[in-house]
Amino acid sequence: MLGQPIIAPNAKNNSIFKMIIFFYGPDSFRINKKVQEIIDKYRIKYRSGLNLKIIDENNVEEMDIRSIFSLKSMFKEKKLIILKNLLKNQEVQQIIFDKSKAIISSDGDIVFLIIEGELKERNEKIIDFLKENSKSQEFKLLTRVELKGVILKILKNNSFDFEQGVLERLAEYIGNDLWRLDSEIKKIMLFKQEEKRINLEDIEILVRPNLETNIFQTIDQLAKGDKKQFLNLIHSHLNQGDEPMYLFSMIVFQLRNLLIIKELLKYPNQKEIVLKSLKINPFVLRKITSLSHILSKEKLKDLYQRIFQIDSKIKTGEIEPLLGLDLFISEI
């Protein structure tokens, strides 16, 4: 349901490497869609499937990757060799360097598709090589505006109307997890198939907000001083199956982020540098910034110190997580 053109070639691509494709980035959903498009087109053209090889972490140990390049293609078909998330593997890196020459001299009988998630802790030499010498495309996480555009396109393509605020609510509740977004939209459209119209009430009934979004709503009640509603939201999390320890750690984590953002507002020149190092999701950042204006620095420090002390007692086994949550609520 979600997609874009298969390849957006790098401007620096060298034509002799036209049979090497490199997809990378944190958006595994869109990468998967593009890879599947390539595989589907390949299978339509070459129906035997004997020259399609997919190598990943699960089967790399049992595959002789080098021999796959040297084996003669069956039925004069092109080979499609796919390597998935293997750039940490030193042997694979060397094969990529070595076999690029074979691909150049093969007169286009091999398509080499290399797939990788985020490029942290990867050898810069192989990354630079691939970016320079392949048709490469980076799949970044979608921004809020892009995400709403994707949702709008899906609903229009399926002839669905919607109440104002539906796009924003879906984007807020699900975030840029496109795997979940695809599943949730299919569910909503199935539920509303007869009416062909989605209302905000449908989102509330059918879609459970991700924990991070709900945590901000919970802390928002804390910021407003509504202890009763804060308590209700905490127990709502628990009733929905959220683990007390994870819930507690999320509150600690977000209060810490609130303190950091509060401090950053004093130093706008350093804000972007620090935020980049923290790698805070843009959706989350907007929520944190909004809440940081409501809570004073003194209040934030007090809340953080209280919950941090309780968190330490939980981790050392002095108290149970559920008791820790109730203790924190009783102290605020």
Asked if 227 and 330 touch (Cβ cutoff 8 Å), the reply is no
Mind listing the domains of the chain with CATH numbers? Answer: 15-138 (3.40.50.300), 144-206 (1.10.8), 211-331 (1.20.272.10)
Asked if 30 and 150 touch (Cβ cutoff 8 Å), the reply is no
Instruction: Dump pLDDT digits (tens) for 197-225.
Output: 999 999 988 887 766 666 777 777 777 77
* Confidence (pLDDT) at 11: 37
Asked if 30 and 178 touch (Cβ cutoff 8 Å), the reply is yes
Instruction: Dump pLDDT digits (tens) for 114-169.
Output: 999 888 766 788 888 888 878 899 999 888 889 999 999 999 999 999 999 999 88
Which of 204, 188, 207 is CA-nearest to residue 196? 188
The residues with which 162 forms a beta bridge, in sequence order, are 198
Identify the DSSP state of 77: P
* Confidence (pLDDT) at 307: 82
Phi then psi for residue 193, to 5 deg, are -60, -40
* Confidence (pLDDT) at 258: 80
* Confidence (pLDDT) at 1: 55
Phi then psi for residue 141, to 5 deg, are -65, 145
* Confidence (pLDDT) at 60: 79
* Confidence (pLDDT) at 108: 63
The per-residue b/e assignment along 312-331, b for 16 or more CB within 10 angstroms, e otherwise, is: eebeeeeeebbebbbbbeee
Strand 52-55 and strand 20-24: the pairing is unpaired
* Confidence (pLDDT) at 300: 82
CA–centroid distance for 199 within its chain: 26
Any idea how long the chain is? 332
* Confidence (pLDDT) at 13: 41
Residues of the chain where predicted confidence (pLDDT) is lower than 70: 1-18, 70-71, 73-74, 101-108, 121-122, 210-214, 265, 267-287, 332
